[in-house]
A and B are shown apart, each in its own frame.
Chain A
Amino acid sequence: MDGSVNATVGIPPGVTEETAAFWAAAAEGRLVVERCAACGTESFPPRGLCRACRGREMLAAEVTGPGRVYSCTVNYQRWLPDLEVPYAIVLVEFDDYPGVRVTGRLRGCPPEAATIGMTVDVGFEPGPGGFAIPSFVAVPSGRGL
């Protein structure tokens, strides 16, 4: 742990050549996926390879959201010492980025308020090992996609 204030307890990611850009952008509060230079399709997680046409030239594409919750869970179990519970996890998809689904925490509402189909904004929070982790922000009902 890096001693960050209020950092979420957890296990940090192992960073690879393919994923370094994602975590660097995350530290700046930006959600970055890969876009194929040849066919324009977005891929996530980043692998340096287009899942549509198998092209090898991938560019960074920023996802600005909002997104929609495909599914979710509220975790109540303290899997690690000092892990604060409960918290909601959301799997988020984006209308303008088909095939991209990003998993993160949810804030801006009580964990139990997480629901499938709810609208969320992109965000990050301090996570384990000094990494910024995806932490989506609940959008008040009434503001749709």
Chain B
Amino acid sequence: MVISGIGQSAIGRQLDRSGFQLTIDAILAAVADAGLSVDDLDGLAMFPGGGAANLPGYANGNLYEVQDALRITPRWRQGFVEGMVLPFFGPALAVASGQARHAVIWRTVKEGSAARKAGGRPAYGATKPAAEGPLAWLLPVGMLSPVCQVAPFAARYMHEFGVTREQLAWIPVTQRAHAALNPDAVYTKPLTVEEYLSSRMISSPICLYDCDVPCDGATAIIVSAVETAPDLRSPVRIEAVAGQVEGRPSWDQWEDMGRVGYAAAQAMWARTSLGPADVDVAQLYDGFTIECVWWLEALGFCGPGEAGAFVEGGTRIGLSGELPLNTWGGQLSGGRLHAGFGHVAEAVRQLRGEAGPRQVAGAEVAALGNVGGFEAGAALLTRW
């Protein structure tokens, strides 16, 4: 399977257009990017499906409305929440089994506008009257946000390995420098380690600059059958993808909070002859800085507990370093397009050589890590 198209709407802190219009913008852009027409699409998927809406602006639109508006006759369609792994995983399975030839998946967020309207980033689950499932143990005691839920992972990791905030600061600081080269990024003004260290704490040890930026925007990704490659403008190969998870599936019950993503990473590496040393550029999920740390270690770019030293100074993860990291700014500066959609779009741009001033020279292999914990996914994309 290949990724044949990526498309994005305008992206901004607040956009004055509906999520549905942003969705259509992204899908049409992805279709044009692939060299296809809308009529070629026969698979449809979105995240989240089923109206999963734990945060205002988190869920947008409706698969059937998109299907109807674009007059698509899908042979396969699906909404994802649990186990999406990476955005292209489900569509790739549909294409691999012959159920679809060109399947599009999209993710639209209006969290920037929603946060503005609410006067700040709202509580996770505030859209529901009572906390259900695993959240029933978290929200009532005051773990009211993913920040609070992930913070104990960061605390435990830093405790076990002696990693410091001074070291981890280099992830958001370096990514901000990358964002300055991305005209679509939400935040582009330079960020310093000192500004990071003096920023307000949200839920210790996670500070403001460890949190991604709620924004408005849509991303669409098309997966196509490999035999359609001659019809495609610039396909990118899906070399390997896996989503195995080794821990208990809730934020407070994960057994070993110092180690996250290892099962997915190992399952992914087992599906390719390539290894960490072959990777030219990494787009690793960064809802929070610590999630990037998980993937740096789980994917084997450094050893357990070594990410602090690895990122310190920003040289290794800079654009001309050994592992350029989140070259679009990541969700920390580029915007919370969420669930790996922004990361996949950038990986495809880099492998095509279409990343403009932030292009990593000779990028042929891109690593992806998505989310972490019980929704982990790891993948490798390669140049066609």
Contacts and interface: CB of A to CB of B under 8 A. Distances in A.
A78 B138 CA distance: 16
A40 interface: no
Nearest to A135: B141
A5 interface: no
Interface in A124-145: 127-129, 131, 133-135
A85 to B, nearest CB: 9
B159 interface: yes
Contacts of A83: 142, 144
B306 interface: no
A10 to B, nearest CB: 5
Interface of B: 120-126, 128-132, 134, 136-145, 147-148, 151-153, 155-156, 159, 200-206, 252-253, 257
B156 A80 contact: no
A91 B152 contact: yes
A83 B122 CA distance: 12
Contacts of A71: 152-153, 155-156, 159, 257
B73 to A, nearest CB: 39
Interface of A: 8, 10-14, 16, 19, 45, 70-80, 83, 87, 89, 91, 101, 103-105, 116, 127-129, 131, 133-135
Contact of B152 (A78, A89, A133): A89
Nearest to B208: A77
A79 B144 contact: yes
Q: Of residues B134, B201, B205, which shows the largest number of chain A Cβ atoms within 10 Å of its Cβ? A: B201
Given A71-B257, A91-B252, A11 B159 contact: no
A103 B128 CA distance: 21
B287 to A, nearest CB: 16
Contact of B144 (A11, A19, A45, A70): A11
Contacts of B145: 77, 79
Given A19-B136, A76-B203, A103 B151 contact: no
Contacts of A116: 155-156, 159
Nearest to B155: A71
A74 B144 contact: no
Given A77-B147, A127-B140, A70 B130 contact: no
Contacts of B121: 77, 79
A73 B131 contact: no
Given A73-B151, A116-B156, A89 B131 contact: no
A104 B141 CA distance: 6
A76 B143 contact: no
Q: Give 4 closest A-B pairs by Cβ, nearest first.
A: A73-B151, A71-B152, A14-B130, A79-B123
Contact of B142 (A13, A105, A131): A105
B202 A14 contact: no
Contacts of A79: 121-124, 126, 144-145
Nearest to A84: B142
A102 B178 CA distance: 40
A114 to B, nearest CB: 9
Nearest to A104: B141
Contacts of B125: 11
A24 to B, nearest CB: 15
A110 B159 CA distance: 20
Nearest to B133: A14
A129 to B, nearest CB: 7
A33 to B, nearest CB: 12
A10 B142 contact: yes
A19 B131 CA distance: 12
B123 A80 contact: yes
Given A16-B136, A70-B257, 17 more contacts: A11-B125, A11-B140, A12-B140, A13-B130, A13-B136, A71-B159, A71-B257, A77-B121, A77-B147, A77-B203, A79-B126, A80-B123, A87-B142, A89-B141, A101-B252, A103-B141, A127-B141
A87 to B, nearest CB: 6
A87 B151 CA distance: 13
A133 B202 CA distance: 22
